[in-house]
Amino acid sequence: MKDTILLAYSGGLDTSVLVKWLQEKYDVDLITVILDVGQQNDLKEIEEKAKSLGVKKHYSIDAKEEFATNHVFPAIKANALYEGKYPLSTALARPLIASKIVEIAEKEGATTVAHGCTGKGNDQVRFDVTIKALAPNLKVMAPVREWGLTRDEEMKFAKANGIQISCLSNPYSIDQNLWGRSIECGPLENPEQEPPEEVFEWTVPPEKAPDKPEYLTIKFEYGVPCAMNGENLHPVTLIQTLNKIAGEHGVGRIDHMEDRLVGIKSREVYECPAATVLLEAHKDLEKMVLTRHEVLFKQQIDAQWTFLVYTGLWMDPLREDLEAFIDKTQECVCGEVKVKLYKGGVQLVGRSSPMSLYDLNLATYDIQTNFNQSYSEGFIELWGLPTRVSNILKTKTKKT
């Protein structure tokens, strides 16, 4: 009886090559698994392709709702932007994919699971750590990492073995889900070169976006978006709809230098229309309902949560610990934020909340209020006392 290897399968170049490679090298039965996390691929076509390559069985799992609710929404609550730019789109999906792979491996009695990650990226860490945390006895294989093939060599292998890859002439490596689309390789590896327009699919060039701005009102309950322009929407529908609307206005293009976990500087290009809008809106609403102390301290918690997810530590207990704090702060993050989309930009132009800490009577300059301005003089004296004392000492020291 042959051993069984479970392969995380996308239908793309890497994993299609791996099917043949694993069959030839190990003479095993292969089971392929793909999760629908909103990548907009034809899963039936991918299943047929996997079977044409000779796999024993193929699983297609619709995980869009679970991804949105259990992965994207926590990221919104945490204002998750790695290095201030990247909304973690790919990083958020990997632990979910890994967990489903473990479930099916246990169901099918497989002793080994495989994925198509290279040895240069972050995804290898996200898959390996999550799988080993959930199932320590499972062996994890990363044949591309082991094989050391370049993208060009993989393409040659695919041609030599009759593997049909629709993007053999496409120099880019693309990964996408509900929360964003990442594009790598080819001309993008030159950080001095502007990304060619051909790499973008979800967003129009800002200069070609409509000349008239579009306004959206997004409602949040307990830190997560639930409605847009007065219409309650399913989590997946809300994100998909906002991706389309914001993308039509050129919103969500990200181009930055990223520090990968393995120590490599990498030029990364993303399209994240919905993420760009929702994260900006959520952060703005938090400023209205949380105290200054909560806002400043939560920035540190958010950064640590984001770092854990980016670096493959979704299963680490610290993530759940941090989420306990984050979820507590979200109890009052309820209200609406009005955004203006125009020529690639997102402007926050209004916000309201039943939990608002904004008090017009205190803030206004136009009318007499019950704020006693005379208190400010004493406050300033005490606030600046350490600074004044320090500078007095500096002056005395210089004179001596």
- Give the residue numbers marked as catalytic: 14, 94, 123, 173
- DSSP H stretches of helix in the chain: 13-26, 43-52, 64-67, 73-77, 89-108, 123-134, 143-147, 151-160, 235-248, 273-289, 292-310, 317-329, 360-363, 375-383, 385-399
How many angstroms separate the CA atoms of 282 and 50, rounded? 41
Closest-CA residue to 249 (of 341, 179, 346) = 341
Closest-CA residue to 138 (of 7, 1, 276) = 7
- The string of DSSP codes covering 95-137 is HHHHHHHHHHHHHHT-SEEE----SSSSHHHHHHHHHHHH-TT
- What does the DSSP 8-state code read for residue 264? -
- What does the DSSP 8-state code read for residue 347? E
Closest-CA residue to 225 (of 234, 358, 322) = 234
How many angstroms separate the CA atoms of 330 and 284, rounded? 13
Task: Report yes or no: 67 and 37 within 8 Å, Cβ to Cβ.
Answer: yes
Q: Which residue has the tokens 């703005």?
A: 284
Backbone angles phi, psi at 11, to 5 degrees: 90, 0
